[in-house]
Amino acid sequence: SQQGEEDPQALSIQEGENATMNCSYKTSINNLQWYRQNSGRGLVHLILIRSNEREKHSGRLRVTLDTSKKSSSLLITASRAADTASYFCATDGYGGSQGNLIFGKGTKLSVKP
């Protein structure tokens, strides 16, 4: 079963607007990661946030983590058409046992020029 679940499933915005995607998960984790997938391609790592961190920034990306609510959000500021892609959260699964990285179903982001 899926550990992480992204919300919304799809998001359509205009260039220059901010995009926010959310991820909820079920069990305790060590880290939470966000990945991006362009259509027909493999996934590319964006950012990793550890369970003892609350917020992390990388360029136009801002990730927050709330372990009490078992949720994370990914904010892309000043979006561009090139940000059009699917975004996935991933958590190490099942109480932090080594060996499992579980992905959510993804949020499909469309940025219109």
Partner 1 sequence: NAGVTQTPKFQVLKTGQSMTLQCAQDMNHEYMSWYRQDPGMGLRLIHYSVGAGITDQGEVPNGYNVSRSTTEDFPLRLLSAAPSQTSVYFCASSSDVYNEQFFGPGTRLTVL
Inter-residue long-range contacts of 42-49, CB under 8 Å, 24+ positions, other chains counted: 43/88, 46/74, 46/87, 47/74
Residues 6+ apart with CB under 8 A from 22: 6, 7, 8, 71, 72, 73, 74
Q: Which of residues 21-50 bind partner 1 (CB under 8 A)?
A: 30-31, 33, 35, 40-45, 48
Q: How far is the CB of 93 from partner 1 (least distance, A)?
A: 8
* Structure tokens given for 57: 């920034």
Per-residue interface string for the shown chain with partner 1, residues 67-96, x marking contact by CB under 8 A: ---------------------x-x-x----
Binding residues vs partner 1 (CB under 8 A): 1-2, 30-31, 33, 35, 40-45, 48, 88, 90, 92, 98-106
